[in-house]
Structure 1
Amino acid sequence: MGRILKILGIGLVVSLFYFSFGVTFLPPNINTKMIIALFGMLTAVYHAIQNRSVKISRPLLGAIGFVVLFSIICFVSSDYNHTDDLSYATYFVSFAVWIFAAYAVCTLIKWGHGVINLTLLTFYLAGVCFTQCALALLIDSIPAFQQWVNQYIDQGQDFLLEVNRLYGIGASLDNAGVRFSIVLIMMAGILSKEQAIRTSSWSIIVLLTGFFTIIIIGNMISRTTSTGAGLAILYLMWNTGIVRMIIKPNFFKFHLIFGFMLILALLITTYFYQSDSIFQGQIRFAFEGFFNWIEYGEWRTGSTDKLNNNMWVWPTDLKTWIIGTGLFDNWVFGTDIGYCRLIMYSGLVGFSVFSLFFIYNAAVFARKYRQYSHMFFLFFVLTFVVWIKVSTDIFLIYALFYCMDILRNNKTLNQQDENRLLHTRYI
């Protein structure tokens, strides 16, 4: 029981990091990620005192360099255009908050398990995403629970209720879709690369239960989830040999369970689609493109029509193309498209540095985790695909990897944790 409570407690903190939100009794600019970052900063200071030195890895220093340069460019854009919009001029602050918050999360996982690695991190993130999907259904179906959540959680739910969208606690719209996408790719990664996972029927069932739940319910919350779902399925197909019409012997158990779970997921979804009109409407929204293709022979959605018809807004003069307008907030250009908003704010100069920052992050970890190089390539693809729709970035996942590496290379902490009994296999 103590071990289970410890895992649940760590999972709660991971959720507060990954799906941060404000609370109604605190100032509106304070959210759970910032609170965790404060503990992360104090923990980092404590570890620095223990080690009698401040250790920053060379890759992290490179990332800091990109962030500082990008922030300076955005500040110059804002100053040159005489605006007070510092949305991305203060990106270095957001970067620091993510790093310190990630440090707290990674430290807590390492404290609870004695180790921290990609597999363990994926299990926690998958569990958090699965929980958010369950919470979204509970909030939508139990008015008393929805009222309680809305009373204490500040996440812009007035707009969500107005447009009749599912939401969890901190998980809504495209931000949730991007986070679901990241986790789907990570789940596909460990399912196809970790022999210990593939030989454990229990692990495969747990991961695939989360995988199919996130794809179905996650798309009800945000159709951006379908981007990650597509990339994750392609990743699985490539690594398991299905794309080459070959079933590798070491993947036989995986294919058997995958086939069973897929059929089960389709049967359950079909049952609720036919018996519950509310669920039917949510499924039709989640997979609107598919239903339009089946019924009208054209793959299209209302949101893509709106993006294509109204939201491709580009600079109209050379100065804006180069340095931007210094404007980003308050939907000033009437577009959600990430490419448009970033270029209109900081020009091609700022956008190029920002893009290189995410290329750099993907390259750093693709080189460090060669077994997972395809996974980090898909993170790179996800970044630039998502910007077709929104300006959300995925640095939060790289922050976890940077901090995980710092802790794994900390000899003092490793000596303290080497005798802990709770290990990855118990997840």
Structure 2
Amino acid sequence: MGNLLKFLFLGTVVSFFLFPISFVGLPVGLNTKVMLAGFGGIMTVYRFFELWKVRMTYGLLASTLIALVFSFICFISTDINHTDDYSYATYIGSFAIWLLAAYAVTEFIRFFYGEVSFKILTFYIAGVCFAQCVLAMIIDNVPAFRSLVDAVVFQGQDFLKRVDRLYGIGAFLDPAGVRFSICLIMIAGLLSENEEVRKSNKNITFLLIAYFTIVVIGNSISRTTIIGFGGSLILFFLSSGLFSFIIKLDSIKLGVLSFVIIAIGVVATVYFYQTSDSFYDQMRFAFEGFFSWVETGEWRTDSTDKLNNEMWIWPTDTKTWIIGSGVFDNYIYSTDIGYCRFILYCGLTGFSVFAVLFVFNALYFMSKHKGYRLMFFVFLAITFVIWLKVATDIFFIYALFYCVDYFTAEEEVKDTELIEKNEGNLLYPRYV
């Protein structure tokens, strides 16, 4: 019972971080991510007075500086263009909120487990994404539960109902698809690299069930999930050991379990596809491109047709190409494409700095942790792929990684050794 309560509590905390929600009756801006950030800020102050120092890795410091430069460029764009659209001029604030919220999440995990490992984080993210898919199906099929959720949670559900889209509790449209994509890649990375997980049938089974569910139901919530599916398959094929000249026993076991669970999942999906009208419609939407290819020989979807035919909108003058128009909100340019929206807002100058932020984060973790190098490369790749579809970013996951013990331990050891070496030097800045 104690473990169940722990799983439910931490799962809720992780969900509040990944899929922020606002509660009916509270200000819309006061969502669960902001609440977590508030707690993270309190914990940061507490740790400072407890240890009289705040530790910041070199990667995080550099990322913060890049985010500051990007925000400043966006502010310059709004100033030059005489607009008051500070959507990304305040990005450093959003950056800080994600960091503090991530710190709060990892502090809760550390309280119960004594550490924050990539394995623990992946299991909770997988569990939360799996739960969101299940909740979305319940909300869609049980009117009483849907009414309860809608009465408590504000997430723009009127629009979601109008366009007939699945939604969970905070999980909807492209933001959900981006998080599902990240989750799928993390599952593939953990199964490929963590020997402890690969030796446990229970762990493998849970992760594969979550993976298959997210691919099927998550894609029904947001077709952006397909990006993570593709990236995770590439990662799995290259790193799992199933396709090497010498195949290890644990790789064979992983392959067998994968085949069994996928086979069961396919049978269940086909059954519900043939017997449930709502599930039939959801699958037709989720895999519209596949059905189009099978039935017409051409891979196409309505959304990609609209993107390709209507949404590639670029600046029409040199000034906008360089510094942007300073306008982002209210869908003013009638495009969803990330590249277009960022360049139209802050020009190539701002967009280049924004892109550097994610290139740096990926390369930083790739250089520090070779075992997960390919996973971080896939993160880098999907960042640029996602921008073909929507204007968003994946810094939230890097914010969590900067708080994971495994990804920061090496620098902690170096910092401790350096402090001890310079303990008597009054000019050495110990408290940074």
- Both structures adopt the same fold (TM-score exceeding 0.5): yes
Residue 401 of structure 1 pairs with residue 363 of structure 2: no
| Deviation of 1:58 (Å) | 1.4
State the partner residue of 2:367: 367
Partners of 1:7 and 1:112 within 8 A in 2? no
What aligned pairs does 1:275-286 form with structure 2 within 5 A after superposition? 275-286=275-286
| Deviation of 1:3 (Å) | 2.3
AA partner of residue 39 (structure 2): F
CA distance in structure 2 between the partners assigned to 1:229 and 1:28 by the alignment? 32
CA distance in structure 1 between the partners assigned to 2:30 and 2:392 by the alignment? 19
State the partner residue of 2:420: none
State the partner residue of 2:268: 268
AA partner of residue 334 (structure 2): G
Q: Provide the secondary structure at the position in 2 that maps to 1:293.
A: helix
Partners of 1:103 and 1:404 within 8 A in 2? no
Q: Structure 1 residues 54-63 or 124-133, which shifts more?
A: 54-63
State the partner residue of 2:73: 73
CA 1:335–1:245: 2 relative to 1, 3 Å: farther
| Deviation of 1:307 (Å) | 0.2
CA 1:260–1:12: 2 relative to 1, 3 Å: same
State the partner residue of 1:306: 306
State the partner residue of 1:30: 30
AA partner of residue 225 (structure 2): T
State the partner residue of 1:9: 9
CA distance in structure 2 between the partners assigned to 1:147 and 1:347 by the alignment? 44
State the partner residue of 2:392: 392
| Deviation of 1:299 (Å) | 0.5
CA 1:245–1:277: 2 relative to 1, 3 Å: farther
What aligned pairs does 1:54-73 form with structure 2 within 5 A after superposition? 54-73=54-73
State the partner residue of 2:425: none
What aligned pairs does 1:192-231 form with structure 2 within 5 A after superposition? 192-231=192-231
State the partner residue of 1:53: 53
Q: Provide the secondary structure at the position in 2 that maps to 1:64.
A: helix
State the partner residue of 1:422: none
AA partner of residue 388 (structure 2): I
AA partner of residue 293 (structure 1): W
CA 1:305–1:246: 2 relative to 1, 3 Å: farther
State the partner residue of 1:157: 157
State the partner residue of 1:354: 354
Q: Structure 1 residues 118-127 or 21-30, which shifts more?
A: 21-30
AA partner of residue 272 (structure 1): F
CA distance in structure 2 between the partners assigned to 1:150 and 1:313 by the alignment? 36
Deviations 1:192-227 (A, max 9, x none): 111111111111101000000000000000000011
Partners of 1:172 and 1:222 within 8 A in 2? yes
CA distance in structure 2 between the partners assigned to 1:241 and 1:51 by the alignment? 44
State the partner residue of 2:139: 139
CA distance in structure 2 between the partners assigned to 1:339 and 1:47 by the alignment? 40
AA partner of residue 113 (structure 2): H
| Deviation of 1:407 (Å) | 7.8
Partners of 1:107 and 1:407 within 8 A in 2? no
The two structures have a TM-score, normalised by structure 1, of 0.94
| Deviation of 1:109 (Å) | 0.4
| Deviation of 1:191 (Å) | 0.4
What aligned pairs does 1:319-338 form with structure 2 within 5 A after superposition? 319-338=319-338
CA distance in structure 1 between the partners assigned to 2:189 and 2:337 by the alignment? 29
Q: Give 5+ residue unaligned stretches, structure 1.
A: 412-427
AA partner of residue 303 (structure 2): S
Q: Structure 1 residues 383-392 or 359-368, which shifts more?
A: 359-368
CA 1:56–1:164: 2 relative to 1, 3 Å: same
CA distance in structure 2 between the partners assigned to 1:87 and 1:347 by the alignment? 14
AA partner of residue 354 (structure 2): F
The two structures have a TM-score, normalised by structure 2, of 0.93
AA partner of residue 67 (structure 2): V
Partners of 2:106 and 2:403 within 8 A in 1? yes
AA partner of residue 137 (structure 2): L
AA partner of residue 144 (structure 2): A
CA distance in structure 1 between the partners assigned to 2:177 and 2:369 by the alignment? 25
Residue 183 of structure 1 pairs with residue 180 of structure 2: no
CA distance in structure 2 between the partners assigned to 1:272 and 1:295 by the alignment? 20
State the partner residue of 1:99: 99
CA distance in structure 1 between the partners assigned to 2:10 and 2:200 by the alignment? 24
AA partner of residue 323 (structure 2): I
Partners of 1:220 and 1:286 within 8 A in 2? yes
AA partner of residue 140 (structure 1): D
CA distance in structure 1 between the partners assigned to 2:404 and 2:205 by the alignment? 26
Deviations 1:48-93 (A, max 9, x none): 1111112222111100110000000000000000000000000000
AA partner of residue 385 (structure 1): V
| Deviation of 1:410 (Å) | 7.1
CA distance in structure 2 between the partners assigned to 1:242 and 1:410 by the alignment? 35
Taking every aligned residue pair, what percent have the same amino acid on both sides?
52
AA partner of residue 295 (structure 2): E
Q: Give 5+ residue unaligned stretches, structure 2.
A: 414-432
Partners of 2:325 and 2:344 within 8 A in 1? yes
CA 1:245–1:263: 2 relative to 1, 3 Å: farther
Q: Provide the secondary structure at the position in 1 that maps to 2:329.
A: coil
Residue 292 of structure 1 pairs with residue 297 of structure 2: no
State the partner residue of 1:419: none
State the partner residue of 1:87: 87
| Deviation of 1:357 (Å) | 0.3
| Deviation of 1:7 (Å) | 2.1
Aligned CA RMSD, in angstroms, stands at: 1.4
CA distance in structure 2 between the partners assigned to 1:174 and 1:307 by the alignment? 14
| Deviation of 1:272 (Å) | 0.3
AA partner of residue 162 (structure 1): R
CA distance in structure 1 between the partners assigned to 2:369 and 2:177 by the alignment? 25
| Deviation of 1:277 (Å) | 1.1
CA distance in structure 1 between the partners assigned to 2:339 and 2:125 by the alignment? 28
Q: Provide the secondary structure at the position in 1 that maps to 2:124.
A: helix
CA distance in structure 1 between the partners assigned to 2:178 and 2:389 by the alignment? 11
| Deviation of 1:246 (Å) | 6.6
Partners of 1:189 and 1:375 within 8 A in 2? yes
AA partner of residue 383 (structure 1): T
Deviations 1:309-355 (A, max 9, x none): 10000001110000000000000000000000000000000000000
